[in-house]
Every structure is written in C-alpha cells, then in structure tokens.
C-alpha cells in the first residue's frame, strides 16, 4: 500500500491503495515512517517526492482503522509519521492530483515544494467530524493565508481549488493532471546539482524560527484531538459517516 523507490537522487514514496482512495491505515503510516527514515539515512537521496495515485492523493485517514486504535499514546503510527516528516532535513516535494483530504492537506504544510493538478480539490473536514485540526495546521495555515481565510478552511471546511492553493502559497503551481508527477520529479532532481549541505542548512534556517511553536502547537492539537474523539459530537459525526447520513448536531 506504500511503495518506495530511489532513482537519480530522488526517493519517491507513493500512496498505493486506490481501491480505498488511498485512505491511510495504521500500517500505511508505519510504512511511510520507515520509508522517510530510510531516505533520511541514505546519502544517495538528495530529495524526497511524495505522491499518490492518478486522480487521488489521499482521502485522509481510514476512519474505521483509525478509530480502532488506542488514543492515549504519542506512539501512534500517525504521530510517528508526522514527526518523521517534520524532522526530515532534505527537501520534500509533493505531487498532488485529484482529492486530498485531512492529513492529505496538512502534510503539505511540511513539504518544501508542492505541485497540484488543475482539478485538485483539497479539504480539511476536521470540525465536521467533531474533532480539531492536526499536524500544526491551526498554526501554519493562518500564518500562510491569514486568520479569516484559514477560518473558512478549518472552521467551515470549505475546500481549496488548485487556483486558490497556488494563490495562498500552499502550492507552487498547478498543471494538467498527466503532467504533475513528471514536473515534480524534475524539480526534485534539480537538487542533485546543488550542494546538499547548503540546501539542508537553508531548510533548517527557514523553518527554525517556528520550531518551538510548531512542536508546542502539534502537542496541543494532539491532546485536544484525542479528547474530542470521546465527545458526543464526534461520536455522532462518525456514526453518521458510517451510516452514510447527515449528522444531527442540533440534538446534542
């Protein structure tokens, strides 16, 4: 469900569960973490490229799998994945086609270069599920696009179009779906011609000023997220999701 291949200095990690719209299971998070850590240790890897299947980046968490996991530990595979991606010192490039939902969007905040398809649709439906944003989205998205616009995305759950994602700086550029991956790979390969140490130091300096705030915010989000999972609102939202109906929050 996760493939990893290194060629010409680029480690390409692909989400490969098309039958489930690349919904991320705990096993997939474990595989992602291993692949990221392996790329970090491999001196031949100059950049990491994250992508999904044609037409779908990821539908977010596999909710049934996610809800079956214990929610009282920092050692959950999804959290280990978050920390591995945040700690990755080399450039991270993302190629996104079609839908990206939840963590499929928040992980892009921790990538260095993001390219999307012209039909991409990115959404953050955390509140609609009775929970809160994760992966430091509550800090980084308002910094990126301002409080008012971020409120539309995080509180109302309004989706991003490709044009909007580029306009607010979440993505670098939009391309026809058939060209996104090749373009992203060509960008990632450009790091082969650049001094790796200078690239790493530049990335560290660019992100260094927010390091403590990012760590604190992510810890705060995790604590509130897991507390919210126990709430009547979240129970109603998830039950409605599985029953394929509209949730009724008015009765709570």
What is the residue whose two structure tokens read 């955390």? Answer: 126
pLDDT in tens, 81-99: 999 999 999 999 999 999 9
Q: What is the pLDDT of residue 130?
A: 95
Q: Kindly state the average pLDDT of the residues 2-12.
A: 97
Residues 6+ apart with CB under 8 A from 58: 15, 21, 22, 23, 24, 52, 99, 100, 101, 103, 104
Average pLDDT value over all residues in the chain? 94
Of the candidates 143, 133, 192, 201, the residue with the CA atom closest to the CA atom of residue 169: 143
Q: What is the pLDDT of residue 186?
A: 98
Structure tokens, 83: 């920390």
**Torsions phi, psi for 104 (to 5 deg):** -65, -25
pLDDT of 17 above 60 = yes
Structure tokens, 51: 């992508």
Instruction: Provide the pLDDT confidence category of residue 22 given band limits of 50, 70 and 90.
Output: very high
Q: What is the pLDDT of residue 70?
A: 63
pLDDT in tens, 181-191: 999 999 999 99
Q: How far, in Å, CA of 99 to CA of 44, rounded?
A: 32
2-177: CATH class: alpha beta
End-to-end Cα distance, the chain: 38
Domains of the chain by residue range: 2-177
Candidate from 1-5, 124-128, 170-174, 247-251 with smallest mean pLDDT: 247-251
148: left (phi over 0), alpha (psi -120 to 50) or beta: alpha
Q: Kindly state the average pLDDT of the residues 223-251.
A: 90
pLDDT of 100 above 60 = yes
Q: Kindly state the average pLDDT of the residues 49-68.
A: 91
pLDDT of 72 above 60 = no
């Amino acid at each position: 469900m996760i493939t990893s291949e290194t060629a010409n200095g680029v480690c390409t990690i692909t989400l490969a569960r098309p039958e489930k719209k690349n919904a991320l299971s705990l096993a997939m998070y474990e595989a992602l973490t291993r692949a990221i850590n392996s790329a970090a240790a491999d001196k031949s890897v100059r950049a990491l490229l994250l992508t999904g299947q044609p037409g779908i980046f990821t539908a977010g968490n596999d909710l049934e799998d996610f809800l079956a996991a214990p929610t009282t530990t920092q050692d959950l595979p999804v959290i280990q994945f978050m920390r591995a991606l945040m700690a990755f010192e080399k450039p991270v490039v993302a190629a996104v086609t079609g839908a990206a939902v939840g963590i499929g969007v928040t992980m892009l905040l921790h990538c260095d270069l993001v390219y999307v398809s012209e039909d991409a649709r990115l959404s953050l439906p955390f509140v609609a599920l009775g929970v809160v944003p994760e992966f430091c989205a509550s800090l980084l998205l308002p910094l990126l696009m301002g409080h008012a616009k971020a409120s539309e995305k995080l509180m109302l759950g309004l989706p991003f179009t490709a044009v909007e994602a580029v306009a607010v700086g979440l993505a670098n550029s939009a391309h026809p779906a058939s060209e996104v991956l090749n373009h992203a790979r060509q960008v990632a390969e450009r790091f082969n011609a650049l001094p790796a140490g200078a690239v790493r130091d530049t990335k560290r300096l660019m992100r260094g000023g927010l390091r403590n705030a990012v760590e604190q915010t992510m810890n705060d989000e995790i604590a509130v997220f897991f507390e919210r999972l126990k709430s009547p609102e979240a129970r109603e939202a998830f039950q409605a999701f599985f029953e394929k109906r509209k949730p009724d929050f008015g009765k709570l």
